Amino acid sequence: MLIYLIVAAASLVALGAGAGATYYWTKKQTLKTTPTPLPSKATEAEASARAKEIVVEAKDEAYRIKKAAEEEARATRREVLQLEQRISQKEESLERKIGALEEREKQLVTKNEELAKKSEDLEKIKQEQIAKLERVAGLTREEAKNLIMEAAEVKLKEEIGRKIKESQEEAKDEADKKVREILVHAMQSSATDYVPEFTTSTVRLPDEDMKGRIIGREGRNIRALEAATGVDFDMDETPGVIRLSCFDPVRREVAKVTLERLIVDGRIQPGRIEEVVEKTRKDVEKLMHEAGEDVAYKSGVPHLPREVIDLLGRFKYRTSYGQNMLQHTLEVVNLAKSIASQVGGNMTLVKQVALLHDIGKAVTAEVEGPHAEVGADIAKRNGLSKEIIEGIGSQHDDNQSSLEAAIVAVADAISGARPGARRESLEEYLKRVTELENVANSFPGVEKCFAIQAGREVRVLVVPAEIGDGEMMKLAHDIAEKIHDTVTYPGQVKVTVVRETRAVDVAK
């Protein structure tokens, strides 16, 4: 760069001198060739002076340029020198660092070699000590290890068992507490203030003469009523009352309403009877359909098939142990929704299964089989989802098909066990409970037994010395079989056999 600046300065000086000389020569030639009159001596002197001034100015300018170039060259040389010094210092520093790293690497290699040698020595000493211990103890390493493990297991066996039992009891207590909270919340949120409706088959008469009119000449009116309704009319000696007898609650309701309308109308004859029965049947079917739509709406389950709606409507006149099925269904839906909100169940599926869990009872008088299986068949026939079908069918199984089915089963049990929900003869109840306990007590090895949960479960306590753990399952099966064969009971009876061993000591 410095060389370029010097060359540029010299070129400028030469250009300036050349420009002055050229100007002077051109001027002189112009004066020679111009045909104008010869200039005076004064003009030539001015031109000469002017040329000299131009030459001096060019020299000054060239000098200034040269001086600036020299200054810039000196500054550049200083910068280059400083840069060379810094580079030299960095090179020296890098060389020192590289030397230190090489030295450290050598030290690390040496230490690794020493450590490897020490490890070999330690492993050798370890193997020598193990061999000495095996010779002294007369046992191999594996045999000694097994002895230590067996001793530790024997020592800790009781402690481990105690810890497991404590953990199980603690978990059970927590689970029971949570379950009670959920059930209490569900029952509180779904508490009902009604007394279950008890459907009767009794029609009161305004006077005793009405019985004769209902019977008709030679019994033609009563025969027409029984033929048209399919219900038996019991004309007993009770004054002012006629009792209706039929296993189908819908037909019994049609007969009851028909008889009440005929009594009010006063025209009791075979032709009129058939007319009123037909009209009443249509009215009752319409009421049942409306009741089915109403219970589906209140349950939050829309778009059900018409057959399912009609079957739900039959619950308006259907009872189970005196508990009205329509009100029972709504109560189960409300309880199941409350429980599902606490345990995180599928709310839509819970409402559907709860609404239809007893749908099979609507046709049990016409179709044989458990109502849960019949209800599952109805749901399948009407194209309902697989989850709903399985939920209905597993209501009374020990293991429900899903969480939602288990929730509905719990809600159903709560509704049925609620005080005042169901009516049963006290004498029949006591007789059935006593029979259950007597059946269990008839087996050898049974210490005592209790019929609990309104006769739904029999809790059997056995003598531990006579009944072993392996015999408990067989005893439970034998008791259940004998109950099935000898006792008449509704639903199912669960048999639980308990074998308890106690160890008692006294601190003195």
pLDDT in tens, 326-349: 888 888 888 888 888 888 888 888
Q: Does residue 330 belong to any structural domain of this protein? A: yes
* Choice among 173-177, 398-402, 408-412, 433-437 with the minimum mean pLDDT: 173-177
SS3 of 428-483: the string is HHHHHHHHHHHHHHCCCCEEEEEEECCCCEEEEEECCCCCCHHHHHHHHHHHHHHH
Question: What is the amino acid identity at position 324?
Answer: N
Is residue 37 classed as helix, strand or coil in its secondary structure? coil
Is there a single domain that holds both residue 485 and residue 404? no
Of the candidates 365, 368, 418, 373, the residue with the CA atom closest to the CA atom of residue 391: 373
Most confident segment among 11-15, 202-206, 479-483: 479-483
Q: Does residue 232 belong to any structural domain of this protein? A: yes
The mean pLDDT of 449-474, rounded to a whole number, is 82
Final residue in a domain of this structure, among 68, 92, 123: 123
Rounded to whole angstroms, what are the CA distances from 8 to 19, 65, 72, 374?
16, 9, 13, 115
Residue of higher predicted confidence among 367 and 447: 447
Is there a single domain that holds both residue 411 and residue 443? no
Is there a single domain that holds both residue 286 and residue 184? no
- What is the rounded CA–CA span in Å between residue 388 and residue 370? 17
Q: What is the pLDDT, as a whole number, of residue 193?
A: 42
> pLDDT confidence of 453, banded at 50, 70, 90?
low
- Model confidence at 2: pLDDT above 50: no
Q: What is the CA radius of gyration of the chain?
A: 57
DSSP bridge partners of 423: none
Residue of higher predicted confidence among 274 and 193: 274
Q: Does residue 503 belong to any structural domain of this protein? A: no
- Model confidence at 210: pLDDT above 70: yes
Percent of all residues in the chain with a pLDDT value above 70, rounded to a whole number: 76
Q: Does residue 315 belong to any structural domain of this protein? A: yes
Q: What is the pLDDT, as a whole number, of residue 130?
A: 75
Is there a single domain that holds both residue 233 and residue 175? no
Q: What is the pLDDT, as a whole number, of residue 314?
A: 85
**Segments forming the whole domain that contains residue 364:** 202-417
CATH assignment of the domain containing 482: 3.30.70.1350
pLDDT in tens, 34-61: 454 555 667 778 888 888 888 888 888 8
Is there a single domain that holds both residue 211 and residue 328? yes
Is there a single domain that holds both residue 360 and residue 472? no
Q: What is the DSSP-derived secondary structure letter of residue 369? A: S
Final residue in a domain of this structure, among 363, 397, 417: 417
Please provide the average confidence, as pLDDT, over all residues in the chain.
78
DSSP bridge partners of 459: 450, 496
Whole-structure pTM over 0.85, yes or no? no
Cβ distance 291 to 310 under 8 Å? Answer: no
Rounded to whole angstroms, what are the CA distances from 253 to 215, 256, 312, 366?
19, 5, 16, 17
Q: What is the pLDDT, as a whole number, of residue 279?
A: 92
264, two tokens: 């009010």
- Model confidence at 78: pLDDT above 50: yes
* Choice among 80-94, 374-388, 418-432 with the minimum mean pLDDT: 418-432
- Model confidence at 26: pLDDT above 60: no
Residue of higher predicted confidence among 427 and 178: 178
Q: Does residue 475 belong to any structural domain of this protein? A: yes
> pLDDT confidence of 7, banded at 50, 70, 90?
very low
Is residue 196 classed as helix, strand or coil in its secondary structure? coil
Q: Does residue 195 belong to any structural domain of this protein? A: no
Number of domains in the chain: 4
Q: Does residue 506 belong to any structural domain of this protein? A: no
Residue of higher predicted confidence among 311 and 162: 311
* Choice among 60-64, 328-332, 455-459 with the minimum mean pLDDT: 455-459
Q: How many CB atoms lie within 10 A of CB 96?
A: 10
The mean pLDDT of 440-457, rounded to a whole number, is 82
> pLDDT confidence of 239, banded at 50, 70, 90?
confident
Is there a single domain that holds both residue 11 and residue 107? yes
- Model confidence at 265: pLDDT above 60: yes
Is there a single domain that holds both residue 258 and residue 376? yes
Q: Within 304-370, where are the H helices? A: 306-314, 325-343, 347-356
Between CA 427 and CA 433, with CA 428 as vertex, the angle to 5 degrees is 100
Question: What is the amino acid identity at position 333?
Answer: V
> pLDDT confidence of 29, banded at 50, 70, 90?
low
Q: Does residue 130 belong to any structural domain of this protein? A: no
Percent of all residues in the chain with a pLDDT value above 90, rounded to a whole number: 1
Is there a single domain that holds both residue 396 and residue 440? no
Is there a single domain that holds both residue 107 and residue 218? no
The backbone region for 39, taken as left when phi is positive above 0, alpha when psi lies in -120 to 50, beta otherwise, is beta
- What is the rounded CA–CA span in Å between residue 375 and residue 381? 10
Is there a single domain that holds both residue 449 and residue 300? no
Rounded to whole angstroms, what are the CA distances from 3 to 62, 65, 76, 81, 164?
16, 14, 12, 17, 97
- What is the rounded CA–CA span in Å between residue 15 and residue 10? 9
> pLDDT confidence of 138, banded at 50, 70, 90?
low
Helix 347-356, helix 270-299: angle, nearest 10: 160
Final residue in a domain of this structure, among 378, 394, 417: 417
Is there a single domain that holds both residue 404 and residue 365? yes
The mean pLDDT of 366-388, rounded to a whole number, is 85
* Choice among 85-89, 167-171, 173-177 with the minimum mean pLDDT: 173-177
